[in-house]
């Protein structure tokens, strides 16, 4: 049987479960058959991830519901350039011309002169849906930018998040167990500057380079370790979502997040993105694994 959700007059939800164990409906506590428990609405949530972890699939699915904010990467742009990290900036400590020649030159951009108050107002307005729920996405490499924007002298990420949102959000941790396909996907993306597919055909001129992939794998592994260490240090238990689970059942995974937000899980849409992995990615993954064994690259 399926859970039945009923809105109450206070903006919350009741979820009535008939014959379901709690583990079958995450985020709603423990249930006995026929038991009804109120799921309080959540005003804010933050998706914590690393690049190519599947987080875009999740946030676009959530945005499509119309009740889970408009989660974007609001924290990726450097105030000095108004750009997110550019391809060569991911390789700032690399001097191999064979790698750098595959990546676009850095564009200086323009300075973003907004004050914290102006920037905060923009972020909150852009990330909120009509029902008042705000959503955003934060990569670990973007955390210094958020702290700088919030002007938190202590350097505390949690203080910066609270300064932005006014309180702690629901933390949603999206991660990928296998870093090799993640790094391969990112290596292709930094070369082509295509970070998402909309169903069209892209001219992919990316070139395989084992050391380029290894460099990104190290970054991605460090980001994931940093998230996990931070959650432990702060005593935070995020809602955990692994890439394989998400890509196997995007609608079901989105429904799980909606339930945790106190929203209607039946609003979860079909997947909005074309899968980015293809035969070339799979070939590169196997090729890199062989190179990693020979050369001691991370995997």
- Which are the catalytic amino acids? 73
Q: Are 235 and 242 in contact (CB under 8 A)?
A: no
How many CB atoms neighbour CB 280 within 10 A? 13
């Amino acid at each position: 049987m399926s859970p039945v959700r009923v809105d109450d007059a206070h903006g919350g939800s009741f979820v009535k479960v008939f014959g379901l164990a709690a583990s079958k409906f995450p985020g709603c506590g423990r249930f006995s058959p026929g038991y009804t428990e109120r799921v309080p609405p959540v005003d804010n949530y933050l998706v914590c991830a690393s690049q190519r972890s599947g987080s875009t699939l999740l946030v676009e699915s959530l945005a499509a519901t119309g009740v889970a904010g408009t989660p974007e990467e609001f924290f990726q742009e450097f105030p000095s350039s108004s750009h997110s990290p550019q391809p060569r900036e991911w390789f700032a400590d690399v001097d191999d011309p064979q790698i750098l020649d595959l990546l676009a030159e850095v564009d200086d951009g323009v300075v973003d002169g907004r004050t914290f108050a102006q920037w905060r107002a923009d972020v909150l307005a852009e990330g909120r849906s009509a029902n008042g729920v705000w959503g955003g996405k934060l990569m670990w490499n973007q955390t210094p930018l958020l702290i700088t924007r919030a002007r938190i002298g202590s350097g505390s990420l949690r203080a910066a998040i609270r300064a932005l949102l006014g309180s702690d959000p629901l933390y949603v941790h999206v991660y990928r167990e296998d870093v090799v396909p993640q790094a391969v996907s990112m290596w292709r993306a930094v070369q082509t500057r295509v970070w998402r597919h909309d169903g069209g055909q892209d001219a992919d001129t990316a070139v395989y380079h084992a050391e380029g992939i290894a460099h990104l794998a190290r970054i991605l592994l460090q980001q994931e370790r940093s998230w996990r260490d931070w959650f432990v240090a702060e005593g935070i238990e995020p809602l955990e979502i692994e890439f394989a689970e998400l890509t196997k059942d995007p609608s079901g995974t989105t429904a799980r997040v909606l339930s945790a937000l106190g929203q209607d899980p039946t609003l979860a849409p079909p997947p909005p993105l074309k899968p980015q992995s293809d035969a070339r990615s799979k070939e590169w993954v196997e090729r890199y694994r062989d190179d990693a064994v020979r050369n001691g690259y991370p995997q």
